[in-house]
Structure 1
Amino acid sequence: MAALRALVAPRLGVASAFAPFPELLRPLSLCGLAPSPRAALHGSAPRPGARVALVLSGCGVYDGSEIHEASANVLTESARIARGKISDLAQLSAANHDAAIFPGGFGAAKNLSTFAVDGKDCRVNQDVERVLKEFHGAGKPIGLCCIAPVLAAKVLRGVEVTVGHEQEEGGKWPYAGTAEAIKALGAKHCVKGVTEAHVDQKNKVVTTPAFMCETALHHIHDGIGAMVKKVLELTGK
């Protein structure tokens, strides 16, 4: 398994609007990176805000992090796609960040855990488990979208998360069965729409369905934006 990496975004802000074309979508603005020609291509400037770690799991929806949800992945590909500073996940410490966000994509179920193969009997990568427990123990918010909420369900027992609806509804929610696996892990599943985010106030865990739903791309990004907004609010920054 490829070594897991984390893209650290010291200044993570929410874009004010979402464009209808994938190449223009900027639901997350990666800011505050070290000045360089590559980093400047993000089109953002340093500004006050929470320090948020973005944890990535690979490249592409079926192999790693979903591109629209993260725009980055493991070390080599992350440097090419994100054009920003990346670090080994082993170096990530809650002491240096105000929050952590886990995009979805099958990488969360294949690389960050064995959920894709083992379901409710899955194991979570030891660094991922450490990061989740560390941020949770420090009372710092954690955001997860798409299939990534299963990580919190496995590691943080009793946590409340959402992966959307619990019935397929004619194919609109093709992965609805994940809700039952989440319950089997001892977590509480909360039904939410694709544009919504669920906030577990007690555990400071924020989740949204994202591509668990078959819908227009702008609806997906509305939900991701809602999740990021709630995570930032919980940082108090």
Structure 2
Amino acid sequence: MRIGVLLSGCGIGDGSQIEEVILTYLALDKYKVDYICIAPNKKQFHTVNHLDEQIEPKEERNVLIESARIGRGKIRALDHIHVEELDGLIIPGGIGLFKNLSNYVMDKEQFVLDEQVDTLIKCMHQSQKPIGAMCGGIVLLARCLGSTEGPLNLCTSHGAYKQLLEMNHIIVEELEADEILVDTYHKIVTTPAFLGTQDLYKMMGGVDKLVKALLTL
């Protein structure tokens, strides 16, 4: 079995949420599951200085190259991945999802996904391969599949993005960070992760359960 881990850069402000990615790796290693990281080979929306949280207007970075920082040497460009190579997909969070994998930061509720990302998620779903998502990854999943495949059952915590999820035909369930929601019909598993807590140990429980459940779908 091989699971794809979809990355959007490195660092919460302009890429993937590093802690969620590492907890995903930890769970995959625990259950002895092979995985490959995936990211689009494209220019990053912008670069954030994570020390002062300010945008660096003169610095340009590449999403794939930045993602490789946390790719553990196992990363491929999204346009070089075929759905047939994957048995499942996991989407960790991070603001990069809204900047590099979609145009949410520009168009808000009317946002669209990057074409390659949209195709990957839809092809995985149409192939009946399980998909896991956490934090902002849940929003991406809702936008991609909710309007055409809905209603989907997805989770949130503390009401985060609830209105946006419901706008995309999602049945929303409030969870704690160490809980998961399994939509068996659509083969989707979600957990709040950082939407629910800043406590990594509690978050680890949810991510671990997500990976374990994904393997049974």
- 2:187 is aligned with 1:162: no
CA RMSD in angstroms comes to 1.7
> Could you tell me which amino acid in structure 2 is paired with residue 129 of structure 1?
D
Q: Deviations over 1:5-35 (max 9, x none)?
A: xxxxxxxxxxxxxxxxxxxxxxxxxxxxxxx
**Local SS of the residue matching 1:190:** strand
Change (3 A) 1:57 1:79: closer
Q: How many percent of aligned residue pairs carry the same amino acid?
A: 37
TM-score by length of 1: 0.69
Decide which of 96, 112, 116 is 1:107's aligned counterpart: 96
Structure 1 unaligned runs (5+)?
1-49, 167-175
Q: How does 1:143-222 map to 2 (within 5 A)?
A: 143-157=132-146, 158=150, 159-166=152-159, 176=160, 178-222=161-205
> Could you tell me which amino acid in structure 2 is paired with residue 61 of structure 1?
I
Match of 1:65 in 2: 16
Q: Deviations over 1:158-210 (max 9, x none)?
A: 122112232xxxxxxxxx2x011110122221111110111111111111100
Structure 1 residue 225: Cα displacement:
1.1
Match of 2:5 in 1: 54
Change (3 A) 1:80 1:61: closer
Match of 2:66 in 1: 77
Q: Greater RCO between the two (CA within 8 Å, min separation 6)? A: 2
Task: Spell out structure 1 runs of 4+ moving beyond 6 A.
Answer: none
Q: Point out the more displaced range, 212-221 or 125-134.
A: 212-221
Q: Point out the more displaced range, 203-212 or 151-160.
A: 151-160
Name the structure where helix makes up a greater proportion of residues: 2
**Local SS of the residue matching 2:16:** coil
**Local SS of the residue matching 1:162:** strand
Change (3 A) 1:194 1:80: closer
Structure 2 unaligned runs (5+)?
23-36, 40-62
